[in-house]
Amino acid sequence: MKKAIFLLLLFITPFLAFSQSKRAYQKAIKKHRKHYKKEFLEEKRSPFYSNKEGLKDIRFFKPDRAYKLVADFRRTSEAKPFKMSTYSGITKDYVLYGIATVMMNGKKLDINVYQSLMLRETDEYKDYLFIPFKDITNDDITYGGGRYIDISVNDIKNEKVAIDFNRSYNPWCAFSDGYNCPVPPIENHFDIAINAGEKMYAGKH
């Protein structure tokens, strides 16, 4: 009897720890998304400045830890600056900061990570890194122009970096015209479905 109880505890304890960890992660993502919406209301340039009603049509996939991946990271210090296109027609100056490699849905993804030449000259955003990407959910479940992920130089440790697609978000162009939203370069067009992060806006553009 004691042996049976001991074996049961061996099974239950890791399961409970996993469940608690899962709930904690989901709570963190929900908190992140709440903050994301709040910033729309406070930023004067945003498409939802002082328009709380419009936020009701912002939708997300359910948080899924399978889309939080630890990637191998290779710094590309030899990369030269280039002009990244935007949907408004202008270009912005970026440099390829490095390449993050992960396995997703059985496929190897080389994710290009960029740095804005303008932002790296500011104190507030000097460590800001940018991942614009497209996947096969675009124009169906997610915004056709692709989505973005932000990370920091400080997130890269020992040639590893965590990339969480649950935190991917739509460019402001998904909600309204009049913004200079970068077009994800062809290198970050992925032939898989990334069912994580922000979905297509359900409201009126």
Give the burial class of 137: count Cβ atoms within 10 A of its Cβ; 0-12 exposed, 13-18 middle, 19 or more buried: buried
Enumerate residues 6+ apart whose C-beta is below 8 A from 100.
71, 72, 73, 74, 110, 111, 113, 131, 161, 163
Q: Please state whether beta strands 147-152 and 107-116 pair in parallel, antiparallel, or not at all (unpaired).
A: unpaired
Q: What is the model's pTM?
A: 0.89
What local confidence, expressed as pLDDT, does residue 19 receive? 59
What local confidence, expressed as pLDDT, does residue 50 receive? 85
Q: Which amino acid is at 98?
A: G
Give the burial class of 107: count Cβ atoms within 10 A of its Cβ; 0-12 exposed, 13-18 middle, 19 or more buried: exposed
| CA nearest to 146, candidates 96, 104, 105, 112 | 112
What local confidence, expressed as pLDDT, does residue 105 receive? 85
What local confidence, expressed as pLDDT, does residue 20 receive? 61
Strand (E) or helix (H) holding 163: strand 160-164
Structure tokens at 166: 């649950």
Per-residue pLDDT of the chain (205 residues; tens, 9 = 90+): 555 554 444 455 454 344 568 899 999 999 999 999 999 999 999 999 988 999 999 999 999 999 999 999 999 999 999 999 999 999 999 999 999 999 998 899 999 999 999 999 999 999 999 999 999 999 999 999 999 999 999 999 999 999 999 999 999 999 999 999 999 999 999 999 999 999 999 998 8
Q: What is the pLDDT of residues 155-170, one digit of tens each?
A: 999 999 999 999 999 9
Q: What ranges do the domains of the chain cover?
A: 60-188
What local confidence, expressed as pLDDT, does residue 16 receive? 35
Opening angle at CA 21, ends 16 and 27, nearest 5? 125
The Cα–Cα gap between 198 and 139 comes to 13
Structure tokens at 200: 């297509």
What local confidence, expressed as pLDDT, does residue 67 receive? 96
